[in-house]
Chain A
Amino acid sequence: MRMNSYYLKRTVRAVLTVWIVITITFGMIRLLPGGPLEQLRGKLLRQGVSPSRVNAMIESYQNVQPNQSILEQYYEYMTALLTGDLGQSFLQKEPVTAIIGDALPWTVFVMVMSTLLIFVIAIGWGALMAYWEGSTFDLVSSSASILFAAVPFYVLGIVLIIVFGYQLELLPTGHRLSPTVEPGLSLLFVLDAIDHAILPITSMVLTGAGLQVLAMRGNAIQVLGSDFVRVARLRGLSDRRISVRYVARNAILPMYTGFLTLIGFNLGGSIILEEVFSYPGIGYYMFQALEARDYPLMMGIFLIITVALVMAVYIADLTYGLIDPRVKSGDSREAY
């Protein structure tokens, strides 16, 4: 019963959050200065076109009724969203959903791979550092972790592009695919896609792993020092068993929610990453839309990233209880 109400609460909260964010984006689009329609209006008025004619032209051109009340507009906006219609991009003259549909898989590919690698490295390396705590390996690794954490991913990205892209010409400097490769179920396609994703992923992983490694190291050291490990050791359990059953599990658990939320955060970071690598994912299009004041596209992508973030947290909340049996009571359980 308690668990059920916990799930229900979480679900309600996720839906509520998405609804609030949608409402905020609706308001923001209307608050933003000089959207495309405003721009057209300004241009036409400057040409001496009479205001009534300007309205008629904009209406016929964009199918927008400026005379609708804000509530009617809001209603239409919400119903359109519920049917999966994010509107039409002014820039591309395509439905926003089509652009996102084309771009999203590439961003997700890069970001999920990056985040996954960050955690694999963090868990493995951090555990080793904890195991050999105080050793030279630990010291060097700790220092390296801190150093890498001090590098913004886009700075590392630029360095990698210069070294591997422009100087050594080993890897592409941008784009999803080579000119001659078309998407399809071929080995060539897969390899080419990986080839183009190596540098973006590397810049995310190297700069993002540092702090996670240190966090894992801290967790592992703490678990190693905790009572139940000492008891287990006294009971004569093998090191192997201890490290897998107790240490690994208890040290990794806290990182689980971090993993999911980090994917969400990284989606936001994709704007800079994809711009640096001219990688046409959703971040790339978001930036283009921002530059061109293409608000439907901009807000569509904004919403998608938000929903991803909410979903990540939601999933983390829902599944955490299944993974960590210590968590019994719903109320005290917070994913973050």
Chain B
Amino acid sequence: MKPTDSTSDADTGQPTVVSDGPEDTFSFETSGSTVEVTWSDRLQDFYEEFIYKPGLVAWDDRRTRIGAVIMFVYLLMGIPGAWFYPAPSTNQVKRGLGPFETLDAPLGSTGSGEDVLGMVIHATPEMLIMVVSGGIFATSVAVLIGTVAGYKGGAVDRALTSFSDVAMSIPGLPLVMVLAVVFRPRDPVLIGVLLTINYWAGLGRSIRSQVLTLREESYVEAARTMGVSTPRILLKDVIPNLMPFVLVNFANAARYVVFASVGLYYLGVLPSSVDNWGIQLENAYSQEGALVGGDALYQLIAPMIAIMGIALGLILLAQGLDRVFNPRVRTRLAGESEATAENEDRETNTEVNI
């Protein structure tokens, strides 16, 4: 057995940068202080505490760096790329060009003369919008329900928890498919929301139990005894301290959106009036005969790489961000509720298997 130092970072062996305990938990209201703090100071503090410091920690992790670079590439593809690169249209180049034959279609063309690279690039903006809207929807609903339930307790908690339970018990993908057929959503923002329609439930449960522990923290208790209103406590004291955890799950939700949306476009459940890698896959599969002939294989590979690339970027980001969050929570939740925390990790993991 190799001895390990309990305080070392579990994954990389790096020394833990973030210290434990309430002294580094941040509050806009410095617990009853009468000193007037200006907004810019607060923002400055917030930036220091929740963006700069965790960012530094995260950036220190190789995975975060690679993930960020990958995501940056997709941003480039989605914003300036889609702006400058010609949109795919039939007969823009010769039919059935192989990859790397001409600069007009670097990755080749389809049987109807569409530029394969153009198809990949022009699918990106919609995908990014879906990913962001799905991620924001899932995490914000989860945070709202999780914090309120955890903090308020009692009947509110029971009601919200039961609601989450039911939402969680409905199989996500089949539900989304039924809804997609009914509503035929076209707007990528709406599609993102639809795909995560019950994704938030598991996450909400995890956040609730985090809040349960947070609310016992002295500074929260102090705020409460001082008569600070609940929404204010939640907004100022509780939620900021959940941010890293939320970010990790944002990345996971985003990856789920990528997988589910491409899958549904591939099956033709979502209306195929836009460019999407799933539609590209489907076309290569059934129209171009990429399976049997082999000549059109490159038309399958291009969208596959695009899908895997963005998923990889999101996973790496999630894993990297996890480091900011986990050592703290692990120790904080250690003890009798340790198993709970572990289960929650499982939960966020299992759900991404569509």
Q: What residues of chain A have their CB less than 8 Å away from a CB belonging to chain B?
A: 13, 16-18, 20-21, 24, 28, 31-33, 131-134, 142, 146-147, 149-155, 158-159, 161-162, 166-167, 207-208, 211-212, 214-215, 217-219, 221-222, 224-227, 229-230, 233, 239, 242-243, 253-255, 257-258, 261-262, 264-269, 271-272, 275, 286-287, 290, 293, 298, 301-302, 305-306, 309-310, 313, 324, 326-327, 332, 334-336
Within B189-238, which residues are at the interface with A (CB < 8 Å)? 202, 205, 209
- Smallest CB separation, A268 vs chain B (Å): 4
Assembled-state Cα–Cα distance A242/B3 (Å): 12
Asked if B134 is at the interface (CB within 8 A of a chain A CB), the reply is no
Chain B count of residues within 8 A CB distance of the other chain? 70
Contact B344 A305 (CB under 8 A): no
Question: Secondary structure at chain B's binding surface: helix, strand, loop or mixed?
Answer: helix
Given known pairs A146-B319, A152-B263, A313-B169, the reply for A162 and B297 (CB within 8 Å) is yes
Assembled-state Cα–Cα distance A211/B340 (Å): 18
Can you pick out 11 interface pairs between chain A and chain B where the beta carbons lie within 8 Å of each other? A152-B307, A153-B353, A155-B281, A155-B304, A155-B307, A233-B1, A254-B346, A257-B346, A265-B353, A293-B181, A332-B337
Contact A215 B345 (CB under 8 A): yes
Given known pairs A162-B291, A268-B354, the reply for A224 and B1 (CB within 8 Å) is yes
Which one of B10, B166, B309, B353 has the greatest number of beta carbons of chain A within 10 Å?
A: B353
B309 proximity list for chain A (CB < 8 A) = 150
Assembled-state Cα–Cα distance A266/B1 (Å): 36
Q: What residues of chain B have their CB less than 8 Å away from a CB belonging to chain A?
A: 1-6, 8, 10-11, 13, 63, 162, 165-166, 168-175, 177-178, 181-182, 202, 205, 209, 258-259, 262-263, 266-267, 269, 281, 285, 290-292, 294, 297, 300, 304, 307-309, 311-312, 315-316, 319, 330, 336-337, 339-340, 342-347, 349-354
Contact A146 B285 (CB under 8 A): no
Which residue of the partner chain B has the closest CB to A310? B169
B339 proximity list for chain A (CB < 8 A) = 253-254, 324, 326-327
Contact A208 B205 (CB under 8 A): no
Contact B308 A268 (CB under 8 A): no
- Smallest CB separation, A297 vs chain B (Å): 12
A230 proximity list for chain B (CB < 8 A) = 3
Assembled-state Cα–Cα distance A158/B301 (Å): 11
Interface residue from B177, B344, B352 paired with A290 (Cβ < 8 Å): B177
Contact B350 A221 (CB under 8 A): no
Question: Secondary structure at chain A's binding surface: helix, strand, loop or mixed?
Answer: helix
Assembled-state Cα–Cα distance A21/B175 (Å): 11
Per CB-CB distance, the 6 closest pairs between chain A and chain B, nearest first, are A254-B342, A258-B346, A268-B171, A150-B312, A225-B6, A150-B311
Which residue of the partner chain A has the closest CB to B259? A152
A20 proximity list for chain B (CB < 8 A) = 166
Given known pairs A13-B165, A272-B173, A310-B169, the reply for A211 and B182 (CB within 8 Å) is no
A233 proximity list for chain B (CB < 8 A) = 1, 3
Contact A134 B13 (CB under 8 A): yes
Interface residue from A218, A301, A313, A335 paired with B174 (Cβ < 8 Å): A301
A335 proximity list for chain B (CB < 8 A) = 343
- Smallest CB separation, A323 vs chain B (Å): 10
B2 proximity list for chain A (CB < 8 A) = 131-133, 224
Given known pairs A211-B352, A313-B169, the reply for A161 and B291 (CB within 8 Å) is yes
Given known pairs A306-B171, A310-B169, A313-B169, the reply for A262 and B291 (CB within 8 Å) is no
- Smallest CB separation, A284 vs chain B (Å): 11
Interface residue from B3, B205, B340 paired with A332 (Cβ < 8 Å): B340
Which residue of the partner chain B has the closest CB to A29? B178
Interface residue from B1, B205, B340, B350 paired with A239 (Cβ < 8 Å): B1
Which residue of the partner chain A has the closest CB to B322? A218
Assembled-state Cα–Cα distance A330/B69 (Å): 46
B6 proximity list for chain A (CB < 8 A) = 225-227
B352 proximity list for chain A (CB < 8 A) = 149, 211
